[in-house]
């Protein structure tokens, strides 16, 4: 799945003081002087702001007697050496905490590629997630204002009373918590069936209120925004040539490109030359990175040559999703797609602590820039499972939801359509194969809908060096626990 790589180095820098701090008791050093004050866990906790322009804000938080850095990419458990230095090899970061005063450290200095970056403690509530995203121009907030709706309506039901073999799911949770298995980097697991939330577990310091990167799950959220436009009558036929919705780009949509439909883009079959899977996303030559860093992502994408007939060949493309994002902003008359998520029909879902990164051109990174709480991802899954209904109201056009869940909607690829994946899983216990539809993002971000079982599963994770494992979870643990 696509990874959000724009500003990759800057996001790495945001982890400078973030990666290896643990509380110690003893002396602290400040500007070459030994300070005889006790360093406690609380000495590190607080909000830190970059003194320059090249890094993001972060919190140091305590969860279960451990310290974590919380920044725009999530949470990272931290440790500290005796000399107050810290290092994280995978990010190429070295740093040192300093300025111990009145029982608290006042600053961090981190080094990346030989360049120092400084942070200072500031007086901000560490529960104010918006502080992490306040760097102007980087992200849009598509949360609903607190108090305007109920963002936390889910109540946990008893797993043992609502499953046939609860020990299966309990074993999965125990394996995740032990960190001895392949899914040690799992950050959340939510299981919802037949109108009940059966499991809501968080790992590695995460809690319900913490947003998590959702990566390419953003694509499926974008699909729901298109469905919102259909619901409002602003799109009547997805088989309409996309040039109708993008008149400002008609120069790029000539000849064969003039026949490319909105549906072709939604099915990743526009026929425009694209390959973002051969090279790693961190490779500067990856086309997805080039598109994100371009001055106009839509012009960049539409300006590429055709190499297939529209509608016939699948090519996974973040650029295609950027094009659809501009259709959304045009038809909704909102500045960005994220603004439509905030003010359009999906506002009824009452997302909280929800942010969406922008690309260089200021457009929403609809292909991979979303940050959401897993409990809000569950709302998306429930909306899909219930045919677009939410709290007894038809929020999204029912036919749109049915088409999104239908693996035949894309006649040339039964595995993908309308920015949703289609997969199957065999369960030995029943000797049966179950079809599931899922929004899937790099690192283990998933919203899974198993319509036959009335089931939604949400996972977030940080497994960025391996493939997703939701299929194994479904086949070995979750579905066997829920069927007779």
Residue 88 lies in a domain: yes
What is residue 399's predicted lDDT score, i.e. its pLDDT?
97
Residues 244 and 317 in one domain: yes
Reported as a single tens digit per residue, the pLDDT across 415-435 is: 999 999 999 999 999 999 999
Three-class SS state of 420 = strand
Q: In the 8-state DSSP scheme, what is residue 158?
A: P
How many C-beta neighbours within 10 Å does residue 128 have? 11
Q: What does the pLDDT look like over 198-215, one tens digit per residue?
A: 999 999 999 999 999 999
The pair phi, psi for residue 43, each rounded to 5°, is -65, -25
Sole residue written with tokens 């501009």: 326
DSSP state of 157: P
d(CA 425, CA 432): 8
Domain at 363, CATH number:
3.40.710.10
Q: Are 427 and 168 in contact (CB under 8 A)?
A: no
The least confident of 59-63, 170-174, 176-180 is: 176-180
What would the two tokens of residue 158 be? 């008893």
Domain annotation covers residue 381: no
Res 9 pLDDT > 70: no
Does residue 17 carry a pLDDT above 60?
A: no
Same domain, 270 and 249: yes
- What pLDDT shows up at residue 245? 98
Long-range contacts of 96-101 (CB under 8 A, 24+ apart): 97/17, 97/21, 97/44, 98/29, 98/30, 98/31, 99/30, 99/31, 100/28, 100/29, 100/30, 100/35, 100/37, 100/39, 100/43, 101/30, 101/35
Q: Is residue 2 part of a domain?
A: no
Per-residue pLDDT, 8:
33
Cα–Cα distance for residue pair 449/191, rounded to 1 Å: 10
- Residue 274 belongs to what domain range? 213-371+391-399
Task: Assess if residue 305 is contained within a domain.
Answer: yes
pLDDT in tens, 278-306: 999 889 999 999 999 999 999 999 999 99
Residues 224 and 174 in one domain: no
Q: Is 71 helix (H, G, I), strand (E, B) or coil?
A: strand
**What is the pLDDT at residue 55?**
59
Nearest Cα to Cα of residue 223 among 346, 342, 392: 346
Q: Residue 273 and residue 459: Cα distance in Å, rounded? A: 32
Lowest mean pLDDT among 324-333, 362-371, 458-467: 458-467
> How does pLDDT run across 132-154, given as a tens digit for each residue?
998 767 899 999 998 889 888 89
**Model pLDDT, residue 40:** 83
State whether 129 and 164 are in the same domain: no
Q: Tell me the C-alpha distance between 282 and 465, whole Å.
A: 13
| Predicted confidence (pLDDT) at residue 45 exceeds the cutoff of 50 | yes
Does residue 224 sit in the same domain as residue 367? yes
pLDDT at 93: 76
Give the neighbor-by-neighbor strand order of the sheet with 139-141. Answer: 139-141, 355-357, 370-372, 212-215
Average confidence (pLDDT) over 235-248: 98
Confidence of residue 10 (pLDDT cuts 50, 70, 90): very low
Does the structure show a pLDDT above 60 at 30? Answer: no
Q: What's the structural domain count of the chain?
A: 3
How far apart CA 171 and CA 385 sit, in angstroms, is: 26
Q: How far apart are CA 41 and CA 66, in angstroms?
A: 8
Q: How far apart are CA 449 and CA 66, in angstroms?
A: 34
pLDDT at 157 over 90: yes
Q: Is residue 1 part of a domain?
A: no
- Among 136, 151, 185, the domain-final residue is 136
Q: What is the pLDDT confidence band of residue 67, given thresholds at 50, 70 and 90?
A: confident
**Tokens representing 428?**
């030995």
- DSSP assignment, residue 249? G
Alpha-carbon span 352 to 145, nearest angstrom: 8
With bands split at pLDDT 50, 70 and 90, how would you rate the model's confidence at 28? very low
SS (H, E, C) 207-247: CCCCCEEEECHHHHHHHHHHHHHHHCCCCCCCCCEHHHCCH
Residue 25: band (very low, low, confident or very high) from pLDDT cuts 50, 70, 90: very low
Output the DSSP codes for 242-293. GGGT-GGGTTTS-GGGGG-BHHHHHTT---B----SSS-TTSTT-HHHHHHT
* 365 and 228 together in one domain: yes
Is residue 80 assigned to a domain?
yes
Pair (227, 201) in one structural domain: no
Note the pLDDT tens digit of each residue in 459-484.
Answer: 999 988 877 789 999 999 999 999 98
Does residue 376 lie within any of the structural domains? no
pLDDT at 228: 98
Backbone φ and ψ for 56, nearest 5 degrees, come out as -100, 165
Asked if 38 and 25 count as a contact pair (C-beta separation under 8 A), the reply is yes
pLDDT in tens, 109-129: 888 889 998 999 999 999 999
pLDDT of amino acid 21: 27
Yes or no: say if 460 and 154 are a contact pair by the CB < 8 Å rule: no
Would 408 be classed as within a structural domain?
no
Q: Is there a single domain that holds both residue 337 and residue 439?
A: no
Do 236 and 361 fall within a single domain? yes
The rounded distance, in Å, linking the Cα atoms of 106 and 120 is 6
Q: What CATH number did the domain enclosing 60 receive?
A: 2.40.128
Confidence of residue 22 (pLDDT cuts 50, 70, 90): very low
pLDDT of residue 95: 76
Give the residue among 473, 476, 480, 475 at the shortest CA–CA distance from 459.
473
**263 and 306 in one domain?**
yes
Sign for the CA dihedral angle at 429, 435, 441, 446 comes to negative
Does one domain contain both 80 and 178?
no
Instruction: Name residue 441's beta-bridge partners.
Output: 445
Question: What is residue 357's predicted lDDT score, i.e. its pLDDT?
Answer: 96
112 and 19 belong to one structural domain: yes
């Amino acid at each position: 799945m696509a990874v959000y790589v724009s500003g990759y180095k800057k996001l790495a820098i945001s982890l400078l003081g973030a990666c290896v701090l643990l509380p110690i008791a003893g002396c602290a050093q400040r500007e070459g002087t030994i300070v005889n004050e006790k360093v406690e866990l609380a000495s590190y906790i607080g909000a830190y702001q970059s003194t320059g322009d090249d890094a993001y804000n972060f919190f140091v938080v305590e969860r279960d007697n451990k310290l974590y850095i919380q920044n725009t990419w999530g949470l990272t458990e931290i440790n500290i050496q005796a000399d107050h230095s810290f290092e994280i090899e995978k990010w190429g970061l070295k740093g040192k905490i300093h300025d111990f005063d009145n029982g608290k450290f006042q600053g961090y200095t981190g080094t990346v590629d030989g360049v120092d970056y400084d942070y200072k403690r500031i007086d901000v509530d560490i529960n104010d997630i918006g502080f992490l995203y306040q760097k102007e121009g980087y992200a849009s907030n598509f949360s609903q204002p607190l108090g305007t709706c109920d963002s936390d309506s889910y109540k946990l039901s008893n797993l043992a009373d609502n499953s046939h073999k609860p020990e299966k799911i309990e074993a999965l949770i125990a394996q995740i918590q032990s960190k001895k298995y392949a899914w040690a980097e799992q950050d959340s697991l939510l299981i919802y069936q037949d109108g009940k939330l059966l499991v809501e577990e968080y790992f590695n310091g995460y809690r319900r209120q913490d947003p998590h990167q959702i990566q390419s799950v953003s694509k499926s959220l974008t699909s729901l925004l298109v469905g919102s436009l259909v619901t409002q009558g602003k799109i009547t036929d997805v088989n309409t040539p996309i040039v109708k919705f993008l008149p400002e780009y008609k120069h790029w949509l000539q000849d064969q490109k003039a026949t490319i439909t909105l549906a072709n883009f939604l099915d990743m079959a526009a026929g425009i030359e694209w390959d973002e899977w051969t090279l790693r996303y961190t490779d500067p030559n990856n086309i997805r990175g080039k598109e994100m860093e371009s001055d106009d992502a839509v012009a960049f994408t539409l300006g590429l040559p055709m190499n297939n007939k529209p509608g016939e060949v699948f090519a996974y493309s973040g650029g295609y999703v950027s094009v659809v994002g501009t259709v959304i902003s045009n038809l909704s008359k909102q500045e960005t797609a994220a603004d439509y998520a905030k003010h359009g029909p999906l506002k009824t879902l009452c997302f909280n602590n929800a942010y969406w990164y922008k690309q260089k051109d200021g457009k929403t990174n609809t292909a991979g820039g979303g940050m959401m709480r897993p409990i809000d991802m569950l709302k998306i899954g429930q909306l899909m499972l219930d045919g677009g209904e939410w709290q007894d109201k038809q929020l999204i056009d029912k036919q749109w939801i049915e088409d999104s869940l239908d693996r035949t909607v894309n006649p040339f690829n039964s595995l993908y359509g309308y920015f949703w994946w289609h997969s199957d899983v065999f369960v030995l216990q029943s000797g049966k194969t179950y079809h599931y539809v899922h929004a899937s993002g790099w690192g283990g971000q998933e919203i899974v809908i198993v319509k036959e079982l009335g089931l939604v599963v949400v996972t977030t994770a940080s497994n960025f060096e391996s493939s997703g494992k939701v299929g194994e979870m479904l086949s070995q643990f979750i579905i066997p626990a829920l069927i007779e």
